[in-house]
Structures are given as C-alpha cells and as structure tokens.
Amino acid sequence: MPEGDTIFLAAATLRRALVGGTVTRFESVFPKLTRVDADHPIAGRTIDAVTARGKHLLIAFSGDLTLRTHMRMNGVWHVYPSGARWRRPARDMRIVIETARAAAVAFSVPVAEFLTARELARHVQLRSLGPDLLADDFDAADAARRMRAQGEVAIADVLLSQHVVAGIGNVFKSEVLFLSRINPFTPMSAVSDTAIEDVLAIARRVMRASVRIGTRTTRSSLDPGGRLWVYGRGGRPCRRCGTLIQTKKTGDAARITYWCPHCQPAAESLA
C-alpha cells in the first residue's frame, strides 16, 4: 500500500502539472463520478489545489468540488504531457484529468468520489484522521496522546492506525520501530512517554527525508537495495548486529512485521 510519503510526492507532482490549468477533458470508469460530470461538467473548471492528507489525495476544482482518491494497495497517479502515450494499459485507467499541457491519469485506484466543501468538512474518514506526520503543522502532542490512549494494543498495530497518526504504512512501521529499538509487539501501556516522543520524531524525520530525496529510505546507502534496515529482509542478517531478522503476520490484513530480536528485544527480555 502506498504510504504517506508516496501520496505526498504524488500530490506535489500533480500540483506542479495541474494547478492553475483549465480542465479540457475529464473521463472516469466510476459511475458516481461520471454522473456528477454529466450534471456539473468538470471540463471548463480550473484546478485550484492538490493536497495530501495522510493516504488521501485531494484535487480541488473551481465551483466548490473536490476529488478524493485513495490508492489502497495498487493505485497510482501518472502525469503525462497532453497527447503522450501512457505507460500503463488503458484497461487500468480509472480517471483522466487533462489540461492544455498535461494529463493526470489514475490507474487501478479503487476509491474515488467528488465532494463539496461542506461534504469535505464532514467526511467521516478525513475527520477521523490522526495528525499527519508530513504536515507542516504536525501536532506531536496530539499524536502522542492518541498513541498513549491505545492501552494494550501493540505499538506496531497502533502505528498503522490512521486514526492515531496519519501517513505511516507497513514499511515505515517496521523501520521506525527498529530505529527506536522497540519490539513491535510491545503494548502501548509498556511504552514510556519519552519513547513515544522518540518514535514520532524518528517517523517524521525519516518520512520527510524520503520525500526530500524522492525515494523511500531510512539509512544512508549508495546501494538501492541497502536503503532500509529491516523491511523485506526476513531471515537475513541484521545490518546492525548480524542476528537474523524475524517476521510475523499480524492484524486483520495479515500485514508482515519485520524486526531484529536482538536490537528490539521483547519487554520480558529486558528484565
């Protein structure tokens, strides 16, 4: 699933290509979008803004209309010069927004809807999001309070909850906990306030660094395969101590957690 850094970068790319332009073509395979387009045409509207909220991408048009998309596991936005050939097959197209100079195409995006400003303000999923780690006004105190309130829930599951803190996905979850030296299955009740503050600070630092560099990374390495500490390295030696990296599927979605049992010992191992 795309994580907050991917959505943030996608929004920046779409913003550079589209904002200020007038829509010359709108197309979608989603009936709800095409019905809105039929009644209130998107063509002729100006694209006013493109923003990211956690894992949600918002494209605002003139005339009080915003398109919300969520990538889920496989969705992606591409930007092409108008008239250029797409790099993905047309069967994967879900939305096309074109201006005189650029075309934005959403491929395999499963969630899309148009919202008015009133609907946007009342949107259940958007209103329930926790503080966005990549936002300039990230509220670390609120994020820490939300984490602390999770009680006996394992910290790995807490970090994936977008209602607690927005933007972290499975990759950064494992990487941030490794950098914090916290066992992923530690209940929040056993995590100190200082440790929570450190986790949030590390998460914000590595995610913002990934956005700045333009590629997901949590460690300095010239090797493209060496940019992460533990994620995707199950059964291989820890880059820090040499212990074999462990893996475990957890949660309803059976997401895989990666950790080093030596660098991130279980709480009882610390006694």
Positions annotated as catalytic residues are 2-3, 55
> Of how many residues is the chain composed?
271
HSE (CB half, 13 Å, CA atoms) of 124? 0
The answer to whether the CB of 241 falls within 8 A of the CB of 232 is no
The answer to whether the CB of 207 falls within 8 A of the CB of 231 is no
Q: Distance (Å, rounded) from C-alpha 202 to C-alpha 193?
A: 14
Structure tokens at 143: 């994020």
Q: Distance (Å, rounded) from C-alpha 133 to C-alpha 7?
A: 12
CA dihedral 224, 56, 136, 257 (to 10 degrees): -50
Token pair 């959403």: residue: 106
- Which residues touch 81 (CB under 8 Å, ≥6 apart)? 101, 102, 103
Structure tokens at 37: 């387009």
The answer to whether the CB of 76 falls within 8 A of the CB of 14 is no
